[in-house]
A and B are shown apart, each in its own frame.
Chain A
Amino acid sequence: MEGYLQLFIASAITNNFVLTQFLGLCIFFGVSKNLNASIGMGMAVTSVMTLSSLLAWAVYTYILHPLGLQTLMLVVFVLLIASFVQLLEMIIKKHAPALYNMWGIYLVLIATNCIVLAVPVTNAELQSDFITSLVRSIGSGAGFALAIILMASLREKLQYADVPKSLEGLGISFILAGMLALSFFGFSGMITL
């Protein structure tokens, strides 16, 4: 049990995908302009990441690994996540329109995002079992949500700050992201798995 808690914290904070491994930066910058949108995006990424990495885990463990086709991992995962997100979008649109209105638009954005792909690949490379994969994907999702919510809160404050003309917009956001990453660097080494 303790091991899983450690894994959760490790994947959410010390090995945060966005701020220490620099994955999923396009949505990180794209959707962090306001807090509400970033909360929606964080939720969408977490759920898609969890569900698709479990699916990927099943395909990897029961099809690719026994057949010795680990080299096909990336191709198969991309195919799998893309179709899964499409499917999820359809289901949500039909059965939960309220939810669809809230974060339906983000679903398509993350269809083949690198951060969603990174988690199943990590799981497969480390040959994790089912529960470990589950905990890792939820942890990574929470880490992404944390990062994007922090960033959005900062950028909302930034609107009232006196930013030099040449740095306005994305420029200052990159600097901010760098500082955030630097502060997350402080967590490194706290948990070693």
Chain B
Amino acid sequence: MTAYPRENSGEMAAFERIMSQCERRVFRVALRLLNNPQDAQDAAQEVFLRLYKHLGSLDETRGCEPWLYRVTVNVCHDIARGRRHSLGLAEVPELPAPQPDAYHDAERAQQREIVRRGLSCLGGKERAALVLRDVEGLSTREVAGILGSSENTVRSQISTARLKLRDFTGRLLRRRS
């Protein structure tokens, strides 16, 4: 195992390098899991403070991305636990219908927004599995490693999450039309 350098100057340089490489990814995952920019900022801050604390015990040759994803998911679970439950369909505010003369991009952006809101309606584990698999594009095996689950469990979670999300978006679009 090659650990990240522990002495002060090397440690700070390694830390800042990892942070600049991964900060957007960590923030993005936190944002998708928490659906709140301020909470996502708090989560990302906590993740990187934990990274700094554990830098000397991480294996540089294996990279720290899986570790960062795992900690991000855990920190977001902790933050979400202190908040209210997931949103139900009835609690999701209506989206304004796109203007008749709006561009195709605007329609697409609204569909993305519906999907983004749909993520909020999933349970914590399903949402984490779906975000890591379908938003981050990790393999099922990688997601299983990060979440500490079996691949079968992850498959079950993402399958359920995809069907719930499809149901959510379908109902919201029907309600809007």
Do A and B pair up? The answer is no
B residues with a Cβ closer than 8 A to A are: none
